[in-house]
């Protein structure tokens, strides 16, 4: 699970074998049965798909709860948890666009943002050995997109427009927020904003690069 501020964390490596990461993996694997259920013509299949979606959402809440209660949020969790969310959302919106008139332009905007985030995360990790967690705008966007996806799954047509407007507003906000954070961090050669020599103010506190490292035995998601 991600940390609340989404601040960068210096790492030497990524330890994947943690319980929160296992829950993220379960969420990732649930994409296939959800899509198969939605593709079936029986009305009951949609209801079962919603139940499986709720299970997927529960794994997201649970991995975060476990990480916070143990006080051990790991860099691997900062990477794997949002990737699982992005794959789930991407699979759902692509299917809904193909089968239930979900707007393709919104699919393109979602995929473009997520691709930019993944490429940016890889770049920062390879160049500076740091990982960023999701910030508040990313979490808000995920929540708003989840409501919109639920409306399309349930075919609540009266909610399409207001939830689409809300999702677009959140998505735009996340574009600005993540873009500003990448510019703030990248434009000063890997010095987090808020540190000596840093650039614009960041959305949360940052840790100095080349400073603290993961302590042996740290766990979490």
pLDDT computed for residue 71 by the predictor: 63
Instruction: Find out if CATH 1.20.120 is the number for domain 18-186.
Output: yes
pLDDT computed for residue 16 by the predictor: 59
pLDDT computed for residue 117 by the predictor: 84
Over the chain (221 residues), what is each successive 10-residue block's mean pLDDT?
A: 47 61 88 94 89 90 76 68 89 96 96 87 74 78 93 94 96 88 64 41 37 38 41
Rounded CA-CA distance 171/164 in Å is 10
Q: Where are the domains of the chain?
A: 18-186
Rounded CA-CA distance 4/71 in Å is 12
pLDDT computed for residue 184 by the predictor: 75
Residues 167, 46 contacting (CB under 8 angstroms): no
Sign of CA dihedral 198, 202, 204, 210: negative
């Amino acid at each position: 699970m991600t940390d609340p501020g989404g601040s960068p964390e210096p790492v030497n490596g990524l330890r994947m074998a943690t319980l929160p990461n296992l829950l993220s993996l379960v969420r990732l694997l649930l994409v296939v049965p959800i899509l198969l259920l939605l593709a079936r013509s029986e009305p009951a299949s949609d209801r079962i798909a919603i139940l499986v979606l709720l299970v997927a959402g529960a794994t997201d809440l649970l991995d975060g709860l476990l990480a916070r209660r143990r006080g051990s949020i790991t860099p691997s969790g900062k990477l794997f948890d949002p990737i699982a969310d992005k794959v789930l959302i991407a699979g759902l919106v692509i299917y809904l666009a193909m089968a239930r008139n979900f707007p393709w332009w919104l699919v393109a905007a979602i995929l473009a943002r997520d691709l930019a985030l993944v490429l940016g995360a890889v770049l920062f990790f390879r160049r500076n050995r740091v990982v960023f967690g999701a910030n508040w705008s990313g979490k808000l966007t995920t929540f708003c997109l989840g409501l919109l996806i639920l409306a399309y799954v349930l075919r609540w047509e009266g909610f399409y427009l207001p939830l689409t407007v809300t999702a677009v507003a959140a998505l735009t906000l996340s574009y600005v927020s993540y873009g500003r954070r990448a510019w703030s961090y990248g434009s000063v050669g890997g010095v987090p904003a808020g540190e000596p020599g840093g650039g614009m103010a960041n959305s949360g506190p940052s840790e100095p690069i080349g400073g603290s490292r993961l302590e042996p035995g740290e766990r979490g998601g």
